[in-house]
Amino acid sequence: MKQLFRGGIHPNDGKALSRGGAPVPMPAPSRVIIPMSQHIGAPCSPLVKVGDTVKLGQKIGDGEGVCSPVHASVSGTVAAVEQLPIPGGRQAVCVVIDSDGKDTPDPAIKPRASHKGLSPAELAAIVREAGICGMGGAAYPTNSKILSTAGKTETLLINACECEPYITSDDMVMCTWPEKVILGARILADVIGAKHTVIAVEDNKPEAIEALRAKAEGQEDIEIRALPTRYPQGAKKQLILAVTGKEVAPGARTGALFNVTTVYSICRAVYEGLPITEKVVTVTGEGANEPKNVIVRVGTPIEQVLDFAGGVKEETCKVVCGGPMMGVAQGNLAVPVVKGTNALLCLTDPAPAAEDPACIRCGKCMDACPMGLQPLNLYRYVNCGDKEELGRLNLEDCMECGCCAYVCPGRLPLVETFKAGKKLLKEGKR
């Protein structure tokens, strides 16, 4: 198939390190830390207090507006409700639960026999109560997306590209539970009224493609489409362009596009009644002793996940939440796994810093930018604080994919600079 989106790169994908074998369930920790803010939108308010007894899957946080409830990932007793560090260097109100070791399920968890007859509002309510948000890392509440796309699209697009190097959690979800991915796609398509469903998978995942096609056999309206491997194939606008040939205008919404693990989670919420209490996390990198995918309870401290997966090598210099292109280095390994955690990348080779970084105007960053921006000029205008030029050159369209920094021979801190530039523009609008 012709590659349709502009730019992009072919970094070493590193996926062979953790690919293969079903995800390994990690025993529940003795204590979990459940942040009230794990999604885009308003943070939840705690529904429990210190000393309360909670059940596995019980809703312990909720809020108004664009919000995704959070649930207890163990049964036990609330030990604290306090501000604590969370991934990304931030702090949030967290509910700390001491496990009783029983995993007693919340009686509100009830499976359904069928999704037939569900209205968009009813499915959105189920998805909201399950705490499902974008599981590919975006963490936008999925119920809002269901309501905004119902009856407005003929094509449902499921993002199964997982283009970020090293990460294989989506891949292993597809290989291990392909029937639930297909059923989740069927639920969404039936309820929002889509006539055609495309599950887009990069062609470096042949086992996942084969597994999905086998489970989708006989369902003519569900297509498993293999796309050429190229980063960032899984970015929303690039994926829509590659699949449909249609370019999404700046600022426009991307419509009926859902991450594959989100779709899997929808299936579990509808047919098993299960909220988000666990996540498949890839533990990988040259610094990981035993790279693998692990099924982790939300709220498990990162350091415990690393220990369960075999620990890290002595030469490990950095642990990144996410992948090497868009992940965030994590200085505090006591922070918990959250809904959007898809990988823990253990690095042994520190990225060399340029002694005197300077732009040589080679233009490689412009060739690599999948958004067609001018990184070399944006870098200059951020540094001189020219908000007018930053607006004219569409800095806010930058998705911080890291392609420009990857190809820059001067090793300029482009992504960090663009993040600072966006803050500058945001402050100017206040």
- Binding-site annotation, residues for [4Fe-4S] cluster: 359, 362, 365, 369, 398, 401, 404, 408
What letter would DSSP give residue 124?
Answer: H
Q: Rounded to whole angstroms, how far apart are CA atoms 20 and 22? A: 7
Residue 263 dihedral angles phi and psi, to the nearest 5° = -65, -45
* SS3 track for 332-386: CCCCECCCCCCEEEEECCCCCCCCCCCCCCCCHHHHHCCCCCCHHHHHHHHHCCC
8 A C-beta contact, residue 96 and residue 31:
yes
Amino acid occupying residue 255: G
Q: Rounded to whole angstroms, how far apart are CA atoms 151 and 163? A: 30
Count of alpha carbons within 13 angstroms of residue 324, beta-carbon side: 21
How far, in whole angstroms, is CA 116 from its chain's centroid?
29
163 exposure class (CB count in 10 Å sphere: 0-12, 13-18, 19+): buried
Q: Rounded to whole angstroms, how far apart are CA atoms 154 and 384? A: 46
Q: Rounded to whole angstroms, how far apart are CA atoms 291 and 283? A: 5
- Residue list, annotated binding site: 359, 362, 365, 369, 398, 401, 404, 408
What letter would DSSP give residue 27?
Answer: P
DSSP letters for 60-113: EEE-SSS---EE-SS-EEEEEEEEEEETTTEEEEEEEEEE-SS-PBPTT----S
8 A C-beta contact, residue 38 and residue 339:
yes
Alpha helices (H) along 133-291: 142-149, 169-176, 178-192, 206-216, 236-244, 260-272
CA distances from 11 to 8, 127, 332, 403 (A): 10, 35, 28, 9
